[in-house]
């Protein structure tokens, strides 16, 4: 895939992610944090399964499941649920802009976790980009002073959300790499996504039935 296509996809994904976050913020005000989190996985699961099925049909079958796949998928799914719930809590806070900025440290934390857990070390230029991202977050958050911008509860919840999302992303990569067979990276990613979103939907359904019968 050419760099131009990657750039276009990245920009499009970033736009859709911000749009999704805005809609979830509005939804959480009506159905609560738990309900808004549940809606994300409930509507994503059928689409993920459909995508995986189409790709598997073209590849002649699904990948084999290695022993490490369920563990990494479980960690990734739990991390995504936690990260989403924390992010929606940030939106309800007074300093939500600060918390949201710190939640965006997900990329920075994912780079560190990827290096520590998977040995995916970035090159010098990539680490330079990480450093610039850190500086940008600090500058955005310190506009109202260090105490008002960084030393507050919203910042802490935002960082926790970023950590959960980072762990989720790294775990999804590890789960996809644990699949067996040669189905290509796209099929591995789609199969992992389908398995995780279905499991998340089932878990959240049972959880909501218990908490909100």
Q: Give the C-alpha separation, 25 to 65, whole Å.
A: 36
Task: State how far Cα 32 lies from the chain centre.
Answer: 20
Q: Positive or negative, the Cα torsion across 103, 37, 6, 61?
A: positive
Q: What is the pLDDT of residue 1?
A: 56
Q: Give the C-alpha separation, 33 to 92, whole Å.
A: 9
Token pair 């939500």: residue: 96
pLDDT profile of the chain (213 residues), mean per 10: 70 74 71 80 92 89 88 95 87 68 83 90 83 76 57 80 94 92 83 95 88 67
- Two tokens, residue 65: 């499941």
Q: Are 184 and 59 in contact (CB under 8 A)?
A: yes
User: 64: which strand partners?
Assistant: 180
Those residues with Cβ within 8 angstroms of residue 103's Cβ, 6 or more apart along the chain or in another chain: 86, 87, 90, 158, 159, 161, 162, 165
Q: What is the pLDDT of residue 149?
A: 55
For the entire predicted model, the pTM comes to 0.82
CA-based end-to-end distance of the chain: 48
Q: What is the pLDDT of residue 150?
A: 60
Q: Give the C-alpha separation, 50 to 191, whole Å.
A: 10
- Two tokens, residue 52: 């995986």
For 101-138, what is the HEC assignment?
Answer: HHHCCHHHHHHHHHHHHHCCCCCHHHHHHHHHHHHHHH
Q: In Å, how far are 28, 46, 91, 95, 152 from 31, measured between CA atoms?
A: 5, 22, 14, 22, 26
Domain ranges of the chain: 3-211
SS3 159: helix
Q: Give the C-alpha separation, 118 to 168, whole Å.
A: 13
SS3 180: strand
User: 180: which strand partners?
Assistant: 64
Q: What is the pLDDT of residue 2?
A: 65
């Amino acid at each position: 895939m050419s760099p131009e296509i990657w750039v276009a996809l990245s920009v499009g994904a970033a736009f859709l992610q911000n749009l999704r976050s805005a809609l979830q913020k509005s939804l959480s005000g009506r159905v609560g944090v738990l309900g808004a989190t549940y809606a994300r996985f409930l509507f994503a699961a059928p689409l993920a399964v459909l995508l995986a099925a189409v790709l598997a049909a073209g590849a002649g079958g699904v990948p084999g499941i290695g022993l490490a796949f369920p563990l990494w998928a479980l960690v990734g799914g739990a991390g995504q649920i936690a990260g989403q719930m924390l992010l929606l809590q940030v939106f309800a806070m007074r300093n939500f802009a600060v918390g949201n900025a710190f939640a965006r440290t997900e990329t920075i934390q994912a780079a560190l976790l990827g290096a520590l857990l998977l040995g995916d070390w970035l090159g010098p230029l990539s680490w330079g980009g990480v450093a610039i991202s850190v500086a940008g977050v600090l500058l955005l958050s310190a506009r109202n002073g260090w105490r008002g911008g960084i030393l507050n509860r919203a910042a802490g919840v935002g960082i926790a959300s970023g950590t959960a999302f980072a762990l989720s992303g790294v775990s999804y990569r590890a789960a996809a790499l644990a699949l067996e067979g040669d189905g290509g990276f796209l099929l591995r990613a789609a199969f992992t996504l389908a398995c995780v979103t279905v499991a998340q939907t089932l878990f959240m359904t049972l959880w909501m039935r218990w908490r909100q019968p």
